[in-house]
A and B are shown apart, each in its own frame.
Chain A
Amino acid sequence: MKQNNPAWLPIAYAIAVAVGITLGAWIFRAVAG
């Protein structure tokens, strides 16, 4: 049987990636900038 993802699941992961990139840039600026 083929699984169907909830429609919001990719959006949740995309938001998590965006948060991670922002946080990473902020950490880099704070530590090594």
Chain B
Amino acid sequence: MRVQPVRLTLSLVATAGIAVAVTLLFLGMRSVMGVGGYCASGGPYQIRVECPHAIDWLLPVSVIGGVLCLFVFLVSSPDAVRRWAILAWTGLFLALGWNFFDFGLPWQGHPGEPVWIVLGFVFLVLALSPIVPVLRSGRRASGQAPGDEQVDFVARSGHGDAFTWEWSSASRSEADSEVGTVAGVAIAAALQRLAQLHRTGELTDAEYAAAKQALLEADQ
């Protein structure tokens, strides 16, 4: 694979930027959970729990910065690397999910919060669910136990799109279904023609029954 230095540099900087954003969100979330899980700052109201210093702007800036870096990553990355963007999602939800477990379980002096443990499991599922199709496609591309579907994926993986296989598989089954429909229409037309010949007397009962049977068996 030929790598363009400028695009690769942009892609690496964007990767570091995503990691900065996820780290800031992780630490910011811990900071807010440390004061009870919710806070506020500014405005004309009397605030029960003041936000930790700088959290009020740090978290939104992290989210916006992270999304911008993800965009730069997707635009600048080499084709074969672009699919790794899914790891940003997994890393984010694993990191934030860990916080829910860490503050939800009754350890390290925390009283424990069952709702946060449930949220921890939800984030764990969110983190791992997109990994499954990527691992499946990677296994198919690894060259073990070749079959029709795998050959199709390897042939298309040159485009660097992990999900091409799913699309090609779907279109293949649609094509198979279309072929089946065309064959069904042809059989129906042949049966109608046989019935017509039988009605006009050109085929005896025995001939009609045998021809019909042969046609139906050929379809199966």
Partner pick for B20 among A4, A6, A12, A24, CB 8 A cutoff? A24
Inter-chain contacts of B40 with A (CB < 8 A): none
Q: Do most interface residues of chain B lie in helix, strand or loop, or is the interface mixed?
A: helix
Inter-chain contacts of A23 with B (CB < 8 A): 16, 19-20, 23
Among residues 4 to 22 in chain A, which have CB atoms less than 8 Å away from a CB atom of chain B? Answer: 4-6, 9, 12-13, 16-21
Contact with A along B146-172 (1 / 0, CB 8 A): 000000001101101000000000000
With A13-B12, A19-B19, A32-B58 as known contacts, state yes or no: A2 contacts B158, CB within 8 Å: yes
Inter-chain contacts of A19 with B (CB < 8 A): 16, 19
Q: How large is the interface on A (under 10, 10 to 19, 20 to 34, 35 or more residues)?
A: 20 to 34
Contact of B158 with A24 in the complex, beta carbons under 8 Å: no
- Could you list 16 further interchain pairs (A-B, Cβ under 8 angstroms) beyond the known A3-B160, A17-B16, A21-B19? A2-B141, A3-B158, A5-B1, A5-B80, A9-B80, A16-B13, A16-B16, A16-B19, A20-B16, A20-B18, A20-B22, A23-B23, A31-B58, A32-B28, A32-B52, A32-B55
Q: Which residue on A lies nearest to B57, using beta carbons?
A: A31
A residues adjacent to B (C-beta < 8 A): 1-6, 9, 12-13, 16-21, 23-25, 27-28, 31-32
Inter-chain contacts of A17 with B (CB < 8 A): 15-16, 19
Contact of A24 with B21 in the complex, beta carbons under 8 Å: yes
- The 9 A-B pairs at the shortest CB distance, nearest first, are namely A20-B19, A24-B23, A20-B16, A24-B20, A16-B15, A32-B54, A28-B27, A16-B12, A16-B16
B31 at the interface (CB under 8 A from A): yes
Contact of A13 with B27 in the complex, beta carbons under 8 Å: no
Q: Which residue on B lies nearest to A24, using beta carbons?
A: B23
Q: Which residue on A lies nearest to B12, using beta carbons?
A: A16
B53 at the interface (CB under 8 A from A): yes
CA distance A15 to B18 in the complex (A): 13
Q: Which residue on A lies nearest to B153, using beta carbons?
A: A2
Contact of A31 with B54 in the complex, beta carbons under 8 Å: yes
B131 at the interface (CB under 8 A from A): no
B24 at the interface (CB under 8 A from A): yes
Contact of B15 with A13 in the complex, beta carbons under 8 Å: yes
